[in-house]
Amino acid sequence: MTNIVTLTFSPSVDKSFSSPRFIPSKKLYCSAPRYNAGGGGINVARALRRLGGSATAIFPSGGRTGELLAMLLRREEVPLVEVKVKSDTRENIMITELDPSRHYQFILPPPEFSAEEYEAVFQVLRGATAHLDYLVISGSMPANFPSDMFSNIRSYALQQDCRLVVDTSGTSLVHALEAGIYLAKPNLNELRKLTGLPVIDMAEAEAAAKGILSKYSCEALVVSLGKEGAMLVTRLNTFLFKGPDTDVKTTVGAGDSMVAGMIRFLSMGRSLQDAVKFGVACGTAATLHEGTELCHLADCERLYKLVKEVSR
């Protein structure tokens, strides 16, 4: 059995609801709220559960929101390990305006943790399992995230001989690449920031990704292209995958579903090329549902057959 752990430093409870129309200075009558566990790595673990796999979600948890987050994960039968912290877990809000159909996401900043709390998270990770195959670190990082955390995690991953997959942005992504990882999943905007170029389009993405791979210790980049699919870039090869056109209801959780799909196939012994193709299917599947519903296996399997490898 493949052992997978996800690590989320900025977990959340995502509250989603709808309102017929937004009118300034008027009372807006809304639907009953729906609550979902949220945060990059937590969503990856949730999606893996839906895909027939399993991952243990490790995350800092504080206050009543943290208690609700843990309850929501248990309801979905996601294995979890909470690390109790003083700050309350954040709550994000997703609102759908029905007429016209528009979506709004209100993302609150994650709380900062003390040095002792960061160390507690790391120690829980070290004791999570006797053997680890994949470690996924996903989501935004608190403003005071330690600059040496990825180096410490990388050392642990080397001891475990596990593959380290990172889906974050900004300075945290740079620190992860400098430490050394198996795979990262930047989008075009994140790729632009990594290279320092003012603009990067699809035509320039391959060269930019190759430059990143030559500069840092990373085996592969999966560049997320939104509705255009994804580009897998290694030092030797590049593959471009395009998902089918669908009626997009939300993009919330699409990236996390994509990571889950890739990890699911990799854990089954499939090639990285096939894993990215399935990841595109899972990311597309997540856009078919409102709120933070993530992907469903039946949709992923159907869409996987429709994902095309595109000639460049």
Q: Is 148 a catalytic residue?
A: no
Residue partners of 33: CB distance under 8 A and separation at least 6: 15, 16, 17
Q: Are 55 and 6 in contact (CB under 8 A)?
A: yes
Q: Which of 161, 256, 274, 299 is catalytic?
A: 256
Separation in Å, CA 152 to CA 121, 146, 148, 257: 12, 10, 6, 27
Q: Where are the alpha helices (DSSP H) in the chain?
A: 40-50, 63-75, 115-126, 149-160, 170-179, 188-195, 202-215, 254-267, 272-286, 297-304
CB 117 within 8 A of CB 40: no
Distance CA 67, CA 69 (A): 5
The phi and psi torsions of 159 (rounded to 5 degrees) equal: -65, -35
Q: Which amino acid is at 258?
A: M
Strands 12-19 and 90-97: parallel
Q: What is the 8-class DSSP label of residue 187?
A: B
Residues known to be catalytic: 256
